Structure 1
Amino acid sequence: MHALCTLFVFCVLTSLGQKALGSEIINGKKTQKRSMKYMASVQNNLQHICGGFLISEEFVLTAAHCAERNPSRVVLGTHNLKKMNDTMKYEVKKMCKHPSYVNVSSGKDIMLLKLSKKARVGKRKISLIKLPNKKMNLKDNKKCLVAGWGLTETNGQMVDDLRVVEVPIINLEKCQKLWRKLPGHVICAGGYGTKNGICQGDSGGPLVCDKKAVGVASYNRGYHCDYPDIPNIYTDIFTYLPWVKKILKENDC
């Protein structure tokens, strides 16, 4: 069933129904109305399946494994998924998965969604988030933010309001020892040494450090979101900037 659990060890965080993949925020709080206006709800024809974030008027960045749930639209401009209207819905014109992506265990879990029309950036409810223009020095225990819609505890209930929580960066060497096997070019944050982290429904959402999106939520361990556990895994955006910029420049993939 999709990219559920590789080797029965970890599970990607896409969303819902059948105790699915995805994820929400553990120990988070409701996001302030005028903050994080770049957040996107990636949806299929039925429901929210992943998070994402707007990086240009025509592209949303998310996780490659979210493609397995057949995203058909993106919702921008609301923190409450019960309070959305047709003007907030943008059809997905094209999915641009990283060409070397195979599955979450091999990494490169990053994807751009081209929208069918330009987002109304600059309006009161929609904005872009910046990407890092250089390799950021993410020191151990640096506090960053992650946000999403979904479960607030293992096997818990969905929420409609966007939630956000502070998570610490986990030293990559320590993360490697705890996981034993990690794909390349990832960032570890939350889930370990803290009760805060991601859970089913947050896949594709941004790890935000110093107001920049530095990572894409990829996976945690199985369906387990009762932390402290082991670190959550994010795709390191900086590594893939040349690929992202090429698509944005050419407006295609």
Structure 2
Amino acid sequence: VHGSHIINGDKAPVNSMQYMVSVQSNGRHACGGFLISEDFVVTAAHCNTKPNLVVVGNQNIKSSNVKKINIQYSCVFPTFRKVGLGNDIMLLKKVSMSNAVKTIQIPNSDRTLTENICMVAGWGKTESNNYGDDLRVAKVSIINSKVCQREWDNTLPPNVICAGGYETTKGFCQGDSGGPLVCNGEAVGIVSFNRNSNCTYPNAPNIYTDVSIYHQ
């Protein structure tokens, strides 16, 4: 059920979204993530598969000029149990900052989400069912929480945002987990899960962890 790839998205413009990182285990892309400060990356808690480095500095993660930075430690939200039950958020402390990358703001806890169209990006599978080396991005619509709960048979945990995957051909899939839902220049959500790993959209709404709940 994990979020995995960008479906029907486009290749990200050059030098855009420089806050994006590839969270890797043993040299392989595992999840997306995003820089919120010089030292810290936010990603999904279900990405805690012993990640040992993050790759930054280029939208092509196989490029010769990427920076591979070791992870010092990870901090999973204490009450996270498994994907689908909520609190799917993790902080990674990395070693150093690359001058080629930037950070992204996260919203305060009192923020009200008013945007209709936001963006999601990642290096996961595409509609051709292949993993890509190039960062891809798709525009997705925010879905009303009551509509979203209805489409998920009232099984969703609290503190989530719904966007994409429903009444549209665009959304995320395997490999995109941990990446940000970006609205008006802020990372408001974290790619968490979709229904039964089915990335043939339209389907049920895609689910993101609501970042603002965890920002004090």
TM-score class normalised by the smaller sequence: over 0.9
Per-residue deviation at 1:134? 4.9
Per-residue deviation at 1:135? 3.4
**If the length of structure 2 is used for normalisation, what is the TM-score?**
0.95
1:140-181 CA-to-partner distances (Å, cap 9, x unmatched) read x80000000021127x11111000000000000110011020
Whole-angstrom CA distance in 1 between matches of 2:61 and 2:97: 18
Q: Which amino acid aligns with 1:129?
A: I
**1:206 and 2:180 aligned:** yes
Matched with 1:106 is 85
Per-residue deviation at 1:138? 2.6
- Which ranges in structure 2 are unaligned for 5 or more consecutive residues? none
Matched with 2:22 is 41
Q: Answer yes or no: is the 8 Å Cα contact 2:120–2:139 preserved in 1.
A: yes
Structure 2 residue aligned with 1:135, among 105, 110, 113?
A: 110
Whole-angstrom CA distance in 2 between matches of 1:73 and 1:207: 22
Whole-angstrom CA distance in 2 between matches of 1:28 and 1:169: 16
Structure 1 residue aligned with 2:60, among 71, 80, 93?
A: 80
- Which ranges in structure 1 are unaligned for 5 or more consecutive residues? 1-10, 14-22, 243-253
Which secondary structure state, in structure 1, belongs to the residue aligned with residue 215 of structure 2? helix
Aligned length: 215
Which secondary structure state, in structure 2, belongs to the residue aligned with residue 27 of structure 1? coil
Structure 2 residue aligned with 1:233, among 198, 207, 212?
A: 207
Determine what percentage of the aligned residue pairs are the same residue: 51
**If the length of structure 1 is used for normalisation, what is the TM-score?**
0.82
Which secondary structure state, in structure 2, belongs to the residue aligned with residue 239 of structure 1? helix
The answer to which structure has the higher helix fraction is 1
Per-residue deviation at 1:106? 1.7
Which secondary structure state, in structure 2, belongs to the residue aligned with residue 213 of structure 1? strand
Per-residue deviation at 1:12? 1.3
Per-residue deviation at 1:34? 1.7
- Root mean square deviation of aligned Cα: 1.4
Q: Answer yes or no: is the 8 Å Cα contact 1:53–1:205 preserved in 2.
A: yes
Matched with 1:57 is 38
The runs of at least 4 consecutive aligned structure 1 residues that moved more than 4 Å come to none
